[in-house]
């Protein structure tokens, strides 16, 4: 599975995927990025993710296609007028492409959430910035801890027959503030215990050591070299204008050229490689299970 590759390789992959998605507003790379990201998210998550994606995507598209034409009146193809201000085809298409780019970026963050977990993030940051790594580890631990403690406090208060459903508005606000006060007091007491524990273990009094299970293998070197080569090539091509486009004063995407076809093919290959690796590994696992069952 691509998740098992070295953290540096996964960070390179996600980083270049985000940059090449945001580097241009030409519809072709935006569509390629969206389709590849959506396919990978569908593989990594269960079916419930589709509702979350479209529940998030539809408002973004509606917002982009309605708000941008109301404030930008560029373009030479008016559809209708609002207070003598033209709503043009160009601004609507620009809003659609911008919304699609934002959705593609969010989908890549969904992918990164699975591929780059807390342990990998701390491994990458800890060697260079150990203090920042410590703050990150504490912060990432505190968020779920706060949520769990708040639920425990709520359950305890409910057990004392203090149900929020039977209270008025001001009583609910007062009751919620009381629970937050309990949560803060509990957290401050725990932070003092954590500080005392770190001091007793000698934190900051000598050289720090670290332990990790990540090893940079031959497959990581090959994958990293491929991602670096393809990523740099695609981004340089985008910077040099292979995906030239105009939205204003008229829409012009300069058709399909040989360079655009080649870079688009390389972009598809780059973005789809981890999905192919994961599908192949899953296929091998299924075949092993079938062979063991037949035996």
- Indicate the helix (H) or strand (E) that contains 81: strand 78-82
Domain ranges of the chain: 2-122+218-284, 130-196
Residue 30 has a pLDDT of 93
Residue 209 has a pLDDT of 66
Residue with tokens 């998740």: 3
Residues 6+ apart with CB under 8 A from 16: 227, 230, 231, 234, 235, 270
Residue 166 has a pLDDT of 67
Residue 162 has a pLDDT of 63
Residues 6+ apart with CB under 8 A from 265: none
Residue 165 has a pLDDT of 66
Report d(CA 192, CA 184) in Å as an integer: 12
CB 260 within 8 A of CB 217: no
Helices H, strands E: what count in the chain?
A: 9, 2
Q: What is the pLDDT along the chain (295 residues), one digit of tens a residue?
A: 888 899 999 999 999 999 999 988 888 999 999 999 999 999 999 888 998 898 988 988 888 888 877 777 777 778 777 777 777 888 888 888 999 999 999 999 999 989 988 788 778 877 677 677 677 777 767 778 888 888 888 888 777 766 666 667 777 787 788 888 888 888 888 878 877 887 777 766 766 666 677 888 899 999 999 999 999 999 999 888 888 887 887 787 887 888 899 999 999 999 999 999 999 888 888 878 777 776 5
Residue 261 has a pLDDT of 92
Residue 229 has a pLDDT of 94
pTM of the model: 0.77
Q: Helices 218-239 and 258-294 sit at what angle, rounded to 10 degrees?
A: 150
Residue 225 has a pLDDT of 94
Phi, psi of 155 (to 5 degrees): -65, -40
CB 47 within 8 A of CB 62: no
């Amino acid at each position: 599975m691509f998740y098992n590759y070295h953290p540096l390789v996964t960070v390179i992959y996600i980083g270049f995927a985000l940059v090449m998605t945001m580097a241009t507003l030409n519809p072709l790379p935006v569509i390629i990025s969206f389709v590849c990201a959506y396919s990978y998210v569908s593989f990594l998550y269960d079916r419930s993710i589709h509702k979350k994606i479209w529940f998030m995507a539809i408002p973004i598209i509606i917002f982009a296609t309605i708000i941008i034409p109301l404030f930008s009146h560029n373009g030479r193809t008016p559809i209708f007028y609002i207070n003598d201000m033209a709503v043009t085809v160009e601004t609507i298409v620009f809003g659609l492409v911008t919304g699609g780019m934002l959705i593609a970026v969010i989908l890549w963050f969904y992918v990164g959430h699975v591929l780059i977990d807390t342990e990998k993030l701390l491994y990458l940051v800890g060697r260079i910035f150990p203090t920042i790594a410590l703050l990150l580890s504490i912060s990432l631990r505190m968020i779920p801890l706060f949520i769990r403690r708040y639920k425990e406090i709520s359950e305890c208060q409910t057990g004392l027959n203090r149900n929020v459903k039977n209270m008025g508005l001001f009583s609910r606000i007062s009751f919620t503030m009381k629970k937050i006060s309990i949560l803060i007091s509990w957290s401050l007491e725990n932070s003092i215990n954590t500080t005392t524990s770190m001091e007793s273990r000698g934190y900051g009094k000598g050289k720090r050591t670290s332990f990790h299970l990540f090893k940079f293998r031959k497959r990581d070197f090959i994958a990293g070299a491929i991602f670096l080569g393809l990523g740099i090539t695609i981004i340089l091509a985008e910077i040099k204008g292979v995906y030239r486009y105009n939205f204003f004063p008229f829409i012009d995407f300069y058709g399909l050229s040989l360079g655009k076809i080649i870079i688009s093919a390389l972009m598809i290959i780059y973005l789809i490689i981890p999905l192919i690796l994961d599908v192949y590994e899953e296929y091998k696992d299924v075949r092993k299970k079938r062979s063991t069952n037949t035996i």
